[in-house]
Structure 1
Amino acid sequence: MKWRALAWLWAALLLACALLLVSQLRNAEFWDTRITALLPASDQGANLQQADRQLGGAFEQRFVLLVGGPAPLAAAQSLQQHLQAAGLGRAQAANRPDQQLADYRYSLLSDQLRGAESQAWSARALNRLLLPGGSETLTRDPFGLLDSWLEERFNGPLRLRQGLPTLQHDGQLWVLVSGEISASPYQLAVQQQLQASLEAFQAQWPRAQLLRSGLIFHAAAGAAQAQREMSTLGLASLLGLVLLFWLVFRRLRTLELLLVPIGCGLLLALPLTGLLFGQVNLLTLVFGVSIIGIAVDYALHLQCQRQLVAEQPGRRFWSALLLGLVSTLVAYLVQLITPMPGLRQMACFAALGLLGAWLTVRLWLVNWPLATHPATAAAAARLAPLRLRRGQRWPWVVLALLLLLALVAISRVQFSASLQQLNPSPPQLIAEQQQVQTLLLQPGGSRYLLVSAADEQALLQRLESLDAPLQQLQASGELSAYTHAARHLPSLARQQQTQRLLRERYQQALPALRAASGLPERLQHQALAALEQAPLLQPAQWLNSPAGAADAALWLGQQASGDWLALVALGEASPAGVAALQQLAAADDLLYHDRVAALSAQLARLAHSMASWLAVAVALLVLLLVWRLRLDAWRALLPPLGAVLLTLGCLSLTGGIGLFHLLGLLLVLGIGLDAGIFSAQEPDSAAAWLAVSLSCASSMLAFGLLAFSATPALHFLGLTCLLGLAFTWALVPFARAEGCGHSH
């Protein structure tokens, strides 16, 4: 009666989970496509964390497209219309700095004019007088101050054609089209909206070339890849399992029974993980779908026991099955202690899925009708001879040599901190982004200088003082580009100095200019009056304007400590350039930060931490199994621990061991424990050996297929599991060896 009540309670819980899942799937933000969700909270200082957030946020919302091919101007206008129709376009005129800075032309002076003699100023003014409306320019801007400033500070490689920014490179005209999104670039709806706009454009302009740059393109590529692999790898795994189980059991009812725990495990894991974490990462789902290789183990052991052993499963069988669940959960749940939220989510998903599968087997499947077929007993009979006979010493010698070689290889292993394991973007997209940044001479945002000062104006002056060394690095080719707020927002002291210089130039050059041009004297007085009344450009005015949005992203402002902070965004730098930047940042008010290098160092620390937790998991499992199995503990430990050592030895020969290799080893440990425990509990049982073999094969189908994933993290995890599970199965005959007495 007690078990029947629990079975109904389990059914009610699954029904509640189904209703919860339906409500969650209605929320567009339920799925999280961020690969960065795998990363831990930063251990950097508060200022660096704020700088990373602000710089990252500025790059997150924007994207840039370069349009080439035949008729690029017309194509770019069409693309702009498609994006604006989808609410993703960005009006080019809204961000024109000439409109924002027109009133402050007397506070801005290009380096070219600042260093020019009076004669050069006069010649420039005479040339401007020959232009249409030249007499008006004498009053408004006789020397073309604003034009000179804008050309030096803003244009870079871009030139306006038909109102669109363009650049020329290797005989190809490229037209820049920029866009902006209001929501997160990781939202599937936003990604699909942008993709639909681009597809409509490509259909209309099939010969147009597009270069893409922006986080949303990388997020969309990662999401599409995760969805693709979820369907292809998950489907391949499922079909492989169905074929395997059909060959052994030959009954449709048996296949249905084996799949029920998988479905129930996923039904429990998915909504509860979403409830605990707020969202479910698509990588978690790809990883979670592969737990079917373990979830089916419990049903396999029950099926083989009921079909090949005359009596019903007894206390010893359920004890072994429970011990297998507990030990596997220990291996998984150790990951909850890691500082990586993505791994904690995966661990939680896997643990809930396995618990759901185990409860389904214990409460439901044990009471369902049994369907048998002679093929099952025949398969068990063919596998039965695969165990070591009494007196066979050479296999043990070979195993000892292999383990010794593995230990030697492991002693030389190195941890890989390559960011490749976190970058699922296709190489073509990465190349396009780099090409766009190179053509536009834009800093990539991965490295910067953090500058501090006591007040707002002191901060602007400190930024201005960095121009000379940074321009020198840029001129020597050691630094590709740099930018900071003071490039477009001079300090008040510099603006006042500019106005003093302009008064001198006006007094010297305007009379000669008026005499040479024959213009009335009143225009000269009006020009001098306009200069005297010129306002100064205040930081708030520029940073809050649309044209100053890019500089606002580099301006952190006043902190709680009272200090003022700003960023200098840096482009690609050579090793000599990096050394020069680090030397420049030796000053107390400067800090050089390379986000990629910092992330690599963080991954290396996490890999060492994961290795430590792997050792902790092993120690806990050894204590648990020695306490539970006494003298037979070696049988349970040999398959998982031997597989971990041999896999580590193989991986160390192929290169560095990364974070996801170590995660795979944790999974190998958990999966191998089931095989080891049943080998210890039932070393002579043909049913247990068949179930263990099917378990290893099904787990290799599920996890091993991840080795073919194009997502580096899942590829490394899958390769590790493929090797580890093969070694696990090969070591089970040693654990079942005859002549190594076991206790009952």
Structure 2
Amino acid sequence: MLSKRPLSARSRIALALLWLAVLALAAWAITQRLQLSGDLRKFMPAAETPAQKLLIDELGEGPGSRLLLMSISGADAPTLAAQSQALRSALAARPEFALVANGGDASLDAIPQRLRPYRYLLTETFDTRPLDEALLREELDARVQDLGSPAASLIEPLLPSDPTLETLKLAERWQPANAPQRLHDVWFDRAGDKVLLVAQTRAAGFDPTGQQAAVDAIHSDFGKIAAGTSSKLVLTGPGAFSVEIGGRTTAEAQWIGMVDTIGLILLLGIAYRSWKMPILGALPLATAGLAGLGAVVLLFDGVHGITVAFGFTLIGVVQDYPIHLFSHQRPGMSPWANARSLWPTLATGVASTCIAYVTFLFSGVDGLKQLAVFTIAGLGVAAISTRFLLPALIDPAPRDFADSRALAKMWRGIAQLPRPKGSLVLVAVVALGIIALAPGRFWQNDLSKLTPVPADALANDAVLRDELGAPDVRYVLTLAGKTEDQVLQASERLRPALDRLVATRALAGYDLASRYLPSAQTQRARQQALPPRDRLQAVLATVLEDSPFNSDAFDPFLADVEAAKRAPALTRADLQGTPLAASVAGLLLPGGDHVTALVSLSGLQDPAAVAKVAMGNGAQLLDLKEASESLVAAYRSRVLAALAIAALLLTATVWIALRQPRRVLRVLLPMALTTLLILAVLRGLGVELNLFHLVALILAAGLGLDYALFFDHAGDDRADQLRTLHALIVCSLMTLLVFSLLALSSIPVLRAIGSTVAIGVFANFVLALLVSRQPAAEASDAVA
């Protein structure tokens, strides 16, 4: 325990430096173990429906979430085509990408040399027509024509082992469904003004770090390729959006933080007329942040970025703790005695606020558990450091900070205000009426409306997605089975029905794993249909009698057909290290005791027709937008249940601390009324409430409870009332500055938090001032 005697100036400086050194050491230790995560699934509750399970477990790995769509424009077609090829080559060599396509011949590399014989088990050519003399004669005649065409350089290397060009047929077949037109051997949009590319990242859609690396790689390579030209790149897709959101959030957080810091320094300097106070006031806040972060690092495997960002916002309330200590300091009273007299009230406020977050520990949501640990640890350590460390650093007070004519005049005016009684009931009734009767939906379940992505970027994405025939990110078909081969067979049976949907234009295109990896049953059937080597050799000899090709020109072809006929069925494990592996991995999802095959859809026009066909073929059409909305609703139910329990525990805590029904009601009433007023203002302005409004309500409630507790603590002592008023004016102005700036943010999440807390700060201060304070002359008239 530190000595309760005042320390010398040199000792206070030494102690402050020691405190800072401990904080620096703690920061270093925490950063050594800190592992930031961007997986939003940590903030989602347990999934219950099949669609929710797919959304939670596989959305970040699905075929639509890992696609980055690109267009290049601003130059003539040949230049754009050359830049497209150069960019594809550069990106394909990077480890960030599993697949890069631009309509060129790069897809020929999908089958490496070791797997080339398998082309005869993957192709559909011989399903309806046998590999016989008629087919070989027809194909070799066509090759003679090809060798005299501009395509000869492409055909000639393939010819000895692949006279029927199954490699090219597979490459064509594996082009994206509903692929755009090809000009100059690359994809162009319909107008022929832009080249189009698509890249599939290795990083999951929920991995912001991996997506950032991929986006940076694209911009870096394009900058080198397009140097000195007028070409410009448009990049869209879920990953690009997540990077843009992260960048905008960081930029806004920086300028808001800078303005907040300047405002904090100026406000504390004006309030206390000392350069030391801003520095001393920041120590408990820094301690709280490191304590919260350290607790999460110790108790969890990884710390989510939202936990860090939101946690530091929530513990911003601890800046009030040293302010109360500063404002109540006066000549003749030691800082230790001051801290001791404030401690019961401060501790009650801290305990009550922490209770609201304790309930999150039982929410079943990992992200909320992290947020609870961060906030509880931060608030507790800040309160303890304010009580037991900060008093040792405070100079003996040269004057009473509340001894101000302006403050005294303000308090006299406040004392003349009528005591609210029936008017509070009227306010509550009006607020409830607005909440209940305001037009529009009460809850916001559509997560897409929380995105800060600009409308023009979303429009570009829609255009590129349409031009490229990229898969729909909302709808997906699923097929479930016990093994991979079962779902591959099921998807093969589904294909004719999907083809009919494409023919009727209910669907523009689709993609499924069996396009790249047929089932073992299909592969065995194709093996049996292949002629044995001696028969094929005899047929080939007959055909070559009337052909310009040498008799031994196609010996590699005979060897490959024989190898395909004897080979074991190709499996997904055999595809590792090939571009096909990425395509299959996004569409064939193992899940412990089962496997799910996804069928990605593009250009879906008639969901009802697709759902009907799916149901009749053992598949299911999942609406991931509906799944996300139901998941949000489930999440909200858990948060509301936690808040209800927290309200009961909070009331019990205040009752234990105050023990008088009238005092308890005076303290809780402003907070309850403020909660109604916040909801009424937001609903009256047409705001649909989301999860971030709810969590912000907890912070607003905690602030209101602190204001009411300290007005109650002042009792009917006029001098103490003035000190409390001084402290709460400084506290509320600082908090109002922080959250008013957040309310002006272009980021919907920050705006929701900022507007909720800013309204709450103002209403809590006014209501606590009117309801919780006691008149200096007649304490018995306090409102119940």
Corresponding position of 1:30: 35
Residues 420-458 of structure 1: CA deviation (Å, up to 9, x unaligned): 366455555544444443332222455433323465554
Tell me, yes or no, if structure 1 residue 552 matches structure 2 residue 584: yes
Tell me, yes or no, if structure 1 residue 387 matches structure 2 residue 400: no
Tell me, yes or no, if structure 1 residue 415 matches structure 2 residue 443: yes
Corresponding position of 1:695: 731
Moved more, 118-127 or 669-678: 118-127
Alignment counterpart, residue 365 of structure 1, candidates 375, 386, 390: 390
Tell me, yes or no, if structure 1 residue 97 matches structure 2 residue 110: yes
After TM superposition, give the deviation of residue 673 of structure 1 in Å.
Answer: 0.4
Tell me, yes or no, if structure 1 residue 275 matches structure 2 residue 311: no
SS at match of 1:448: strand
Corresponding position of 1:239: 262
Tell me, yes or no, if structure 1 residue 356 matches structure 2 residue 419: no
SS at match of 2:615: coil
* 8 Å CA contact 1:186, 1:219 repeated in 2: no
Moved more, 235-244 or 371-380: 371-380
Alignment counterpart, residue 663 of structure 1, candidates 683, 695, 702: 695
After TM superposition, give the deviation of residue 48 of structure 1 in Å.
Answer: 4.3
Tell me, yes or no, if structure 1 residue 403 matches structure 2 residue 403: no
TM-score w.r.t. structure 2 length? 0.79
Alignment counterpart, residue 322 of structure 1, candidates 344, 347, 354: 347
Corresponding position of 2:103: none
Corresponding position of 1:287: 310
Tell me, yes or no, if structure 1 residue 378 matches structure 2 residue 405: yes
Residues 317-361 of structure 1: CA deviation (Å, up to 9, x unaligned): 332122122112223333333333333333333333322322232
Give the distance between the partners of 1:670 and 1:87, measured in 2 at CA.
48
Residues 179-230 of structure 1: CA deviation (Å, up to 9, x unaligned): 7557998475983685276246436256323232455434433432333233
Residues 639-687 of structure 1: CA deviation (Å, up to 9, x unaligned): 2111001111222332422111111111111111001112222254121
| CA distance 1:383–1:295, shift in 2 (3 Å) | farther
Q: Runs of 5+ in structure 1 lacking a partner?
A: none
Within a 5 Å distance, the mapping from 1:203-602 to structure 2 comes to 204=227, 207-213=230-236, 216-291=239-314, 293-307=316-330, 313=338, 317-367=342-392, 368-369=394-395, 370-372=397-399, 377-387=404-414, 389=416, 392=418, 396-411=421-436, 414-420=442-448, 423=451, 425-427=453-455, 429-444=457-472, 446-453=474-481, 457-495=485-523, 534-535=564-565, 538-540=569-571, 543-544=575-576, 546-554=578-586, 556=588, 561=593, 565-571=596-602, 573-574=604-605, 576-577=606-607, 579-586=608-615, 589-602=618-631
Corresponding position of 1:652: 683
Give the distance between the partners of 1:546 and 1:279, measured in 2 at CA.
32
| CA distance 1:329–1:401, shift in 2 (3 Å) | same
* 8 Å CA contact 1:230, 1:289 repeated in 2: no
Give the distance between the partners of 1:78 and 1:528, measured in 2 at CA.
37
SS at match of 1:210: strand
After TM superposition, give the deviation of residue 306 of structure 1 in Å.
Answer: 1.7
Corresponding position of 2:25: 19
Counterpart residue type for residue 605 of structure 1: A
Over the aligned positions, Cα root-mean-square deviation in angstroms equals 4.7
* 8 Å CA contact 2:339, 2:391 repeated in 1: no
After TM superposition, give the deviation of residue 463 of structure 1 in Å.
Answer: 0.8
Q: Runs of 5+ in structure 2 lacking a partner?
A: 6-11, 101-105
Alignment counterpart, residue 191 of structure 2, candidates 148, 162, 170: 170
Alignment counterpart, residue 680 of structure 1, candidates 680, 696, 712: 712
SS at match of 2:197: strand
Aligned length: 737
Give the distance between the partners of 1:254 and 1:458, measured in 2 at CA.
70
* 8 Å CA contact 2:63, 2:587 repeated in 1: no
After TM superposition, give the deviation of residue 53 of structure 1 in Å.
Answer: 3.5
| CA distance 1:679–1:97, shift in 2 (3 Å) | same
* 8 Å CA contact 2:96, 2:213 repeated in 1: no
* 8 Å CA contact 2:160, 2:554 repeated in 1: yes
Give the distance between the partners of 1:503 and 1:83, measured in 2 at CA.
41
TM-score w.r.t. structure 1 length? 0.83
After TM superposition, give the deviation of residue 522 of structure 1 in Å.
Answer: 9.1
| CA distance 1:80–1:136, shift in 2 (3 Å) | closer
Alignment counterpart, residue 56 of structure 1, candidates 61, 72, 77: 61
SS at match of 1:466: helix
After TM superposition, give the deviation of residue 606 of structure 1 in Å.
Answer: 1.3
* 8 Å CA contact 1:125, 1:142 repeated in 2: yes
Counterpart residue type for residue 359 of structure 2: V
| CA distance 1:155–1:62, shift in 2 (3 Å) | closer
Corresponding position of 2:145: 130
Give the distance between the partners of 1:615 and 1:728, measured in 2 at CA.
20
Moved more, 244-253 or 131-140: 131-140
| CA distance 1:674–1:33, shift in 2 (3 Å) | same
| CA distance 1:51–1:107, shift in 2 (3 Å) | farther
Counterpart residue type for residue 552 of structure 1: V
Give the distance between the partners of 1:196 and 1:526, measured in 2 at CA.
40
After TM superposition, give the deviation of residue 582 of structure 1 in Å.
Answer: 3.3
* 8 Å CA contact 1:249, 1:375 repeated in 2: no
| CA distance 1:114–1:442, shift in 2 (3 Å) | farther
Within a 5 Å distance, the mapping from 1:32-47 to structure 2 comes to 32-43=37-48
* 8 Å CA contact 1:51, 1:556 repeated in 2: no
After TM superposition, give the deviation of residue 512 of structure 1 in Å.
Answer: 11
